């Protein structure tokens, strides 16, 4: 990787060498996450071998898919030093719009109209967010906070307290069974991950995003267009949110106005746990994806170790503790490098 990811460690005395080495290994967040995922699977697998079965993991991956798709976009947003906390509400709005258009009980339009329209709407809202952030100079957390509230209200208003069901048979079939036995959401997720990876590693655009995130000033001096880059990342996130909606929502029995609530928090959490610096300029896709798997795993794992009715209610607490643990461990191990790190977090 061309980014200066390798840490330079000042200490060289024998006493600290071992721990530094360990720290360096753990510092690759991916290693830690992978260890955690493997360890959990093995432990749960020993208790109940069914956990390691194909069906269970297929189910986990299906649950991962929408989060992974959207996380690809939000990760790029965070890399440029901005944040997007509106994806959950956007998903709900898009689901409502899509449902209204293609449900057999509603407008009953063809999927060939409904799906592209949903994609366009998602991208459009993303671009609007981006232009407010870049042209209007409104901090992204404010814009997306406002949208989080406003879009959710708009969705509830649109649904009018009723649920939308009876999506076209073809779409639900595709979502449930998929192509050649692979659920469509997983296929889409793989496609999006590939696309994002190419974008980051093989196209100048990706490098520019990192440049913008590490120092907006230098990026500007190097002649990069901040406006264009930000329009792109937000537009991309909007597009991916629409995509995630299209492949995931038909899986559900009906569309409710509560769809995607707290989804934004899950996505941001995955991005952060995956090692993307919240101040921008740093982070790898693979870390984010592992974090998505880890966070999604928690619920199935809890079902498998059978914590009972009372334990069920503790799921969120355990999830929260997990995030806290991930963040704290990371800071603990990366503290040694803090000295050399830039401290001018914008």
Partner 1 sequence: MNSMHDAGSSRSFRWWHETVIGALLVIVLLVAGWLVPGFLKPQSQLLLSRQLWEFAILALGMTLIIITGGIDLSVGSTMGLSAVAFGGVHAASGSLVAASLACLATGLCCGAVNGALVSQLRLHPLIVTLATFAAYRGIAEGWSQGHSYSRFGDDFSNLARGSWLGVPLPGTFFFVMAIGFAVFLAKTPNGRFLHAIGHNERAAKFSGIAVDRIRFWLYTMSGLLAGLASLIYVARFDTAKADFGKGFELDVITAVVLGGTSIYGGRGNILGTILGLLLIHETRMFVSRYWGSDELRSIVIGCLLIVAVLAYQLVSRRRRS
Q: How far apart are CA 161 and CA 168, in angstroms?
A: 22
| CB 161, min distance to partner 1, A | 9
| CB 314, min distance to partner 1, A | 4
Beta-carbon count within 10 A of 195 CB: 13
Helices 14-27 and 29-47 sit at what angle, rounded to 10 degrees?
70
**Contact call for residue 338 and partner 1 (CB under 8 A):** yes
Question: Residue 337 in contact with residue 9, Cβ under 8 Å?
Answer: yes
Q: Across the strands, what pairs with 164?
A: 255
**Contact call for residue 315 and partner 1 (CB under 8 A):** yes
CA 98 to chain centre: 22
| CB 156, min distance to partner 1, A | 4
- Sketch the per residue contact string, 107 through 136, with partner 1: x for CB under 8 A, - otherwise: -------------------------x---x
**Contact call for residue 5 and partner 1 (CB under 8 A):** no
| CB 168, min distance to partner 1, A | 27
**Contact call for residue 151 and partner 1 (CB under 8 A):** yes
Q: How far apart are CA 309 and CA 301, in angstroms?
A: 15
Q: Which stretch binds partner 1 (CB under 8 A): 6-14, 154-162, 184-192, 221-229?
A: 154-162
- Sketch the per residue contact string, 62 through 101, with partner 1: x for CB under 8 A, - otherwise: ---------------------x------------------
Can you tell me whether residue 345 is helix, strand or coil? coil
**Contact call for residue 328 and partner 1 (CB under 8 A):** yes
Tokens describing residue 285: 């896709």
Judged by CB under 8 A, the residue of 27, 152, 208, 251 near partner 1 is 152
| CB 129, min distance to partner 1, A | 10
**Contact call for residue 217 and partner 1 (CB under 8 A):** no
| CB 206, min distance to partner 1, A | 24
| CB 192, min distance to partner 1, A | 24
**Contact call for residue 313 and partner 1 (CB under 8 A):** yes
Helices 285-304 and 54-79 sit at what angle, rounded to 10 degrees?
140
Q: How far apart are CA 228 and CA 233, in angstroms?
A: 9
Can you tell me whether residue 182 is helix, strand or coil? strand
**Contact call for residue 278 and partner 1 (CB under 8 A):** yes
- Residue closest to 196 by CA, chosen among 128, 289, 308: 289
Tokens describing residue 307: 């914590």
**Contact call for residue 149 and partner 1 (CB under 8 A):** yes
Q: Of 25 and 324, which CB lies nearer to partner 1 in the complex structure? A: 324
Number of residues in contact with partner 1 under rule CB under 8 A: 49
Q: How far apart are CA 38 and CA 301, in angstroms?
A: 12
Task: Give DSSP secondary structure letters for 127-169.
Answer: HHHHHHHHTS---HHHHHHHHHHHHHHHHHHHHTT--B----H
Binding site for partner 1 (CB under 8 A): 83, 132, 136-139, 141-143, 145-154, 156-157, 265, 268-269, 272, 278-279, 310, 313-321, 323-324, 327-328, 331-332, 335, 338, 343-346
């Amino acid at each position: 990787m061309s980014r200066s990811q390798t840490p330079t460690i000042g200490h060289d005395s024998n006493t600290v060498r071992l721990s530094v080495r360990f720290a360096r290994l753990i510092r690759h967040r991916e290693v830690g996450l992978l260890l955690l995922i493997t360890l959990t699977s093995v432990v749960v697998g020993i208790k109940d071998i069914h956990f390691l079965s194909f069906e269970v993991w297929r189910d986990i991956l299906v649950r991962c898919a929408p989060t992974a798709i959207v996380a690809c976009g939000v990760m790029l947003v965070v890399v440029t030093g901005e944040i997007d906390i509106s994806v959950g509400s956007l998903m709900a709005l898009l689901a409502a719009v899509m449902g209204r258009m293609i449900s057999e009980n509603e407008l009953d339009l063809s999927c060939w109209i409904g799906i592209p329209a949903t994609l366009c709407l998602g991208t459009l809202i993303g671009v609007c967010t981006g232009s407010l952030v870049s042209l209007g100079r409104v901090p992204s957390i404010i814009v997306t906070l406002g949208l989080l509230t406003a879009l959710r209200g708009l969705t509830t208003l649109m649904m009018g307290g009723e649920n939308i069901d009876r999506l076209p048979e073809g779409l639900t079939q595709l979502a449930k069974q998929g192509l050649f036995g692979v659920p469509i959401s997983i296929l889409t997720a793989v496609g999006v991950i590939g696309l994002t990876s190419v974008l980051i590693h093989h196209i100048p655009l990706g490098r520019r995003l990192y440049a913008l995130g590490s120092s907006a000033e230098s990026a500007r001096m190097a002649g990069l267009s901040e406006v264009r880059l930000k329009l792109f990342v937000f537009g991309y996130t909007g597009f991916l949110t629409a995509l995630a909606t299209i492949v995931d929502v038909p899986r559900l029995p009906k569309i409710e106005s509560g769809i995607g609530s707290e989804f934004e928090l899950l996505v941001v959490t995955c991005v952060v746990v995956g090692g993307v610096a919240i101040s921008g300029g740093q982070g790898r896709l693979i870390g984010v994806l592992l974090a998505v798997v880890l966070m999604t795993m928690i619920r199935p794992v809890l079902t498998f170790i059978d914590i009972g009715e009372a334990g069920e209610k503790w799921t969120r607490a355990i999830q929260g503790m997990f995030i806290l643990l991930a963040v704290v461990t990371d800071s603990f191990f990366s503290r040694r490098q803090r000295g050399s790190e830039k401290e001018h977090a914008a």
